[in-house]
Amino acid sequence: MELKGENLSFKYDSSKRWILKDLNINIKSGEIKGLVGDSGSGKSTLSKILAGYIDNKNFEGKVEINGLNISKNEYNPVQLIFQHPEQTMNPKWKMKDILYESWNVDEDIIEKFGIQKSWLNRWPNELSGGELQRFSVLRALSPNTKFLIADEMTTMLDAVTQVQIWNLVIDLVRMKNIGMLVVSHDKDLIKKICDEVVYLDDINNF
């Protein structure tokens, strides 16, 4: 499978300048691609467009998987993980409801992710950022996920937790043949885990 953004151009309603211009990017199944660029250059904006978070009436170009539009009515095969997991979780739901709403996760994977059983009965505001991020990563790895976009996924976590989470994610992504885009300022991380690195400036055609 291939996720393709073709001739993408975008500017926010309130901004005068183009953030993205005639940009092309593709991610293939099983490939782990790094995306780097200066702060404010548009990496998060591009991530949101590829994951269908920005309505396409606001951008030019197209985003497709194997030449087909991504349906808005089904499970999104392109999952996006942000830096701040608390922003993507309903505070009125317990963790078990948040996790199982996405997919029927096996107990042994929950354990491998370092998620303690007692956390499942807690509310999102009763967990640390690192604990919550384990849930948001696991939630995104449903069997229906074909592409994963990690936007500064572990930036807020300590070094030990970062390594733990990345090891688990890379194992699962490789095992499930998921295509992945890793957005990070951490050059060492990108070098270590990515098959290829793309520089936003090089694919943006101002």
Ligand X SMILES: Nc1ncnc2c1ncn2[C@@H]1O[C@H](COP(=O)(O)OP(=O)(O)OP(=O)(O)O)[C@@H](O)[C@H]1O
Could you tell me the smallest distance in angstroms from the CB atom of residue 104 to ligand X? 33
Strand 20-28, strand 2-10: pairing: antiparallel
Here the tokens at position 202 are 């090089």
The alpha-carbon radius of gyration of the chain (Å, integer) is 17
Could you tell me the smallest distance in angstroms from the CB atom of residue 40 to ligand X? 4
Q: Which residues bind ligand X (CB under 6 A)?
A: 12, 14-15, 19, 37, 39-45
Nearest of 145, 204, 205, 188 to residue 34 by alpha carbon: 188
**Toward ligand X, which CB reaches closer, 10 or 166?**
10
Any idea which residue has 């250059």 for tokens?
41
The span from the CA of 67 to the CA of 186, in Å, is 32
Strand 179-183, strand 147-151: pairing: parallel
**Toward ligand X, which CB reaches closer, 45 or 102?**
45
Could you tell me the smallest distance in angstroms from the CB atom of residue 43 to ligand X? 4
Sheet holding 20-28, edge to edge: 20-28, 2-10, 59-65, 68-69
CB 164 within 8 A of CB 134: no
Could you tell me the smallest distance in angstroms from the CB atom of residue 149 to ligand X? 12
**Toward ligand X, which CB reaches closer, 19 or 181?**
19
**Toward ligand X, which CB reaches closer, 34 or 168?**
34
Q: Is 154 helix (H, G, I), strand (E, B) or coil?
A: coil
Could you tell me the smallest distance in angstroms from the CB atom of residue 111 to ligand X? 33
**Toward ligand X, which CB reaches closer, 13 or 106?**
13
